[in-house]
Amino acid sequence: MDLQGDDLTTAVVASFDGSANPRTRTLMSALVRHLHAFAREVDLTEDEYFTAIDFLTRTGQISTGTRQEFVLLADVLGLSMLTVGLGNRKPAAATQSTVFGPFFVEGSPEAQLGDDIANGAPGQPCLVSGRVLNIKGEPIAGALVETWQADEEGFYDVQKDLDGPQNRAHQTTDADGNYAFWAVKPVAYPIPDDGPVGELLRAGGRGPMRPAHIHFMVTAPGYARLITHVFAAGDEYLRNDAVFGVKDSLITDFTEHPAGDQAPYGKTPDRPYYSVNYDLVLATTEETQQ
- The domain that holds 237 is classified in CATH as 2.60.130.10
Q: Indicate if 17 and 151 belong to the same structural domain.
A: no
Residues 65 and 238: their CA atoms lie apart, in Å, by: 29
List, for residues 237-277, the tens digit of each pLDDT value.
999 999 999 999 999 999 999 988 788 887 788 889 999 99
Q: Indicate if 22 and 100 belong to the same structural domain.
A: no
Q: Indicate if 145 and 35 belong to the same structural domain.
A: no
User: Taking 90 as the threshold, does the pLDDT of residue 167 lie above it?
Assistant: yes
Q: Indicate if 187 and 268 belong to the same structural domain.
A: yes
Q: Indicate if 207 and 259 belong to the same structural domain.
A: yes
List, for residues 66-108, the tens digit of each pLDDT value.
788 999 999 999 999 999 989 888 899 999 999 998 889 899 9
List, for residues 227-240, the tens digit of each pLDDT value.
999 999 999 999 99
Would you say residue 283 lies in a domain? yes
List, for residues 22-39, the tens digit of each pLDDT value.
999 999 999 999 999 999
Would you say residue 278 lies in a domain? yes
Q: Indicate if 150 and 223 belong to the same structural domain.
A: yes
Return the pLDDT at 290. 60
Compute the mean pLDDT over every residue in the chain, rounded to the nearest whole number: 94
Would you say residue 58 lies in a domain? no
User: Taking 90 as the threshold, does the pLDDT of residue 5 lie above it?
Assistant: no
User: Taking 80 as the threshold, does the pLDDT of residue 171 lie above it?
Assistant: yes
Would you say residue 205 lies in a domain? yes
Mind spelling out the 3-state secondary structure of the chain? Answer: CCCCHHHHHHHHHHCCCCCCCHHHHHHHHHHHHHHHHHHHHHCCCHHHHHHHHHHHHHHHHHCCCCCCHHHHHHHHCCHHHHHHHHHCCCCCCCCCCCCCCCCCCCCCCECCCCEECCCCCCCCEEEEEEEEEECCCCECCCCEEEEECCCCCCCCHHHCCCCCCCCEEEEECCCCCEEEEEEECCCCEECCCCCHHHHHHHHCCCCCEECCEEEEEEECCCECCEEEEEEECCCCCCCCCCCCCCCHHHEECCEEECCCCCECCCECCCCCEEEEECCEEECEHHHHHC
- The pTM assigned to this predicted structure is 0.90
Q: Indicate if 24 and 156 belong to the same structural domain.
A: no
Would you say residue 15 lies in a domain? yes
Least confident range from 63-72, 109-118, 133-142: namely 63-72
Domain count along the chain: 2
Q: Indicate if 128 and 209 belong to the same structural domain.
A: yes
Return the pLDDT at 194. 95
Return the pLDDT at 287. 82
User: Taking 90 as the threshold, does the pLDDT of residue 210 lie above it?
Assistant: yes
Residues 229 and 238: their CA atoms lie apart, in Å, by: 12
Q: Indicate if 33 and 143 belong to the same structural domain.
A: no
Would you say residue 13 lies in a domain? yes
Q: Indicate if 177 and 223 belong to the same structural domain.
A: yes
Return the pLDDT at 267. 78
Q: What share of the chain has pLDDT > 70, as a percent?
A: 98
Return the pLDDT at 262. 81
Would you say residue 61 lies in a domain? no
Would you say residue 51 lies in a domain? no
Across 18-57, b (16+ Cβ under 10 Å) vs e yields eeeeeeeeeebbeebeeebeeeeeeeeeeeeeeeeeeeee
Q: Indicate if 273 and 180 belong to the same structural domain.
A: yes
Domain that residue 185 falls in: 79-289
Least confident range from 59-63, 65-69, 199-203: namely 65-69
User: Taking 90 as the threshold, does the pLDDT of residue 60 lie above it?
Assistant: yes
Q: Indicate if 136 and 40 belong to the same structural domain.
A: no
Residues 100 and 59: their CA atoms lie apart, in Å, by: 18
